[in-house]
Amino acid sequence: MSLICDLQLRKYYHVPNDMADVLDYLKSHSVEECYDAYGYGNKGVIKSYVDFVLKNDMGFMDTRIMDELVPLPLQWDAYADITNVIVELSPEMANDSCFIEELVNLNLEAIEIRCYEAISSEKLTQFLNHFSKSIVGTIRIFLKWNNWCTEKLFKNLIENNLRINSIVVHSSPQEKTIKLLKNSVSILYKKEVIASCLQCGVIDPGYFRTNIDLFTESQKHNTCLNRKLSINKDGYIKNCPSMPESFGHISQTRLADVLANPEFKKNWLLNKDRIAVCKDCEFRHVCTDCRAYVEQPQDRYSKPLKCGYDPYANVWEDWATSPLKQEAIAYYGLEK
């Protein structure tokens, strides 16, 4: 199968390869020329492809091919050495680290705070205060349920930290969703227990994103690890919390030293076109990636372990039950 990505309306369409071939031909030929090339016996099918494009506002008909309709530039760059950060905030983690202050001074786009253990509201507030005067775009928080996780307290927390765009409360006694600040911030209470980073790395259509930033970044970069920095629950600096390599501790390491280490950036350019199976998958430019859990643990170019899609058969299966993945599942300690 193939994929049409509408980067303006942020939608994608799963289509047959034949349709992709026809649309590619129509880049430089008229519809009549397309009928001639593919045979008038296929006129009805070709017309249905064209009608699909018109119906979904992805194109229009004209009497000529317009020279000004040039291909979209696919270059990608960012204005910061690090754009996104994951922090596994634990009760023991120091709030006064110089490394955290160095992160604040970067042009971060997003921060994800993960709390596997219950922490106090004061601890969370103190950590968020680091970013009160920064230009961080969005903050997403995963909290373990505690008695203080009430709508009233969250409302106050969000009003004082307007960068927060969502909060997930795991290990909750009940499941519910509430919306705050005129429905702009979601608070999701889940019974599911998020106990560690072992639960990360799942590839699922629900996580697919269709936008120009991800699409262009994916052309040459890894869409999960590129320009990412993480601090695990013990204060060690990593590219991803789930990966074994550490590049120092926040109490002893300078950000400049981490960024100067080529090993820290080794996966940034590992795009989907270089990864087994992913390079043939039609979803590769709307999908994130995972290099922490892969089917062949010794092969950094191996397919993500937690992906159940087979692009050759066009079917999704439960990755966790696949007999071919059990050895890797045991290697990472993911049996549960």
Q: Report d(CA 239, CA 234) in Å as an integer.
A: 14
Note the pLDDT of residue 312. 97
From 332, 302, 298, select the one nearest 289 (Cα to Cα): 302
Tokens of 65: 């091919």
| 48 part of a folded domain | yes
Contacts of 25 (CB under 8 A, 6+ apart): 34, 37, 38
| Total number of domains constituting the chain | 1
| 30 part of a folded domain | yes
Cα-flanking dihedrals φ and ψ of residue 186, to 5°? -100, 135
> Tens of pLDDT along the chain (336 residues)?
999 999 999 999 999 999 999 999 999 899 999 999 999 999 999 999 999 999 999 999 999 888 888 888 999 999 889 999 999 999 988 877 889 889 888 889 999 999 999 999 999 999 999 988 888 999 999 999 999 999 999 999 999 999 999 999 999 999 999 999 888 999 999 999 999 999 999 999 999 999 999 999 999 999 999 999 999 999 999 999 999 999 999 999 999 999 999 999 999 999 999 999 999 999 999 999 999 999 999 999 999 999 999 999 999 999 999 999 999 999 999 988
With tokens 């599911």, the residue in question is 192
Judged by DSSP in three states, 164 sits in strand
Q: Report d(CA 43, CA 35) in Å as an integer.
A: 6
| 317 part of a folded domain | no
Nearest 5°: the CA angle 133, 139, 142 is: 135
Q: DSSP string covering 280-317, please?
A: G-TTTTT----SSSBSSTT-TTSPBTT--EETTTTEE-
| 18 part of a folded domain | yes
Model pLDDT for residues 319-335, shown as the tens digit of each residue? 999 999 999 999 999 98
Note the pLDDT of residue 79. 85
Tokens of 251: 């109490």
| 12 part of a folded domain | yes
* Count of CB atoms situated within 10 Å of the CB of 73: 8
Cα-to-chain-centroid distance, residue 282:
16
| 272 part of a folded domain | no
| 22 part of a folded domain | yes
Note the pLDDT of residue 202. 95
Model pLDDT for residues 135-154, shown as the tens digit of each residue? 899 999 999 999 999 999 99
Nearest 5°: the CA angle 21, 27, 29 is: 95
> Can you give the residue range of the structural domain that contains 48?
2-56
| 325 part of a folded domain | no
Counting Cα atoms < 13 Å in the Cβ hemisphere of 255 gives 19
Tokens of 292: 């922490």
Model pLDDT for residues 185-240, shown as the tens digit of each residue? 999 999 999 999 999 999 999 999 999 999 999 999 999 999 999 999 999 999 99
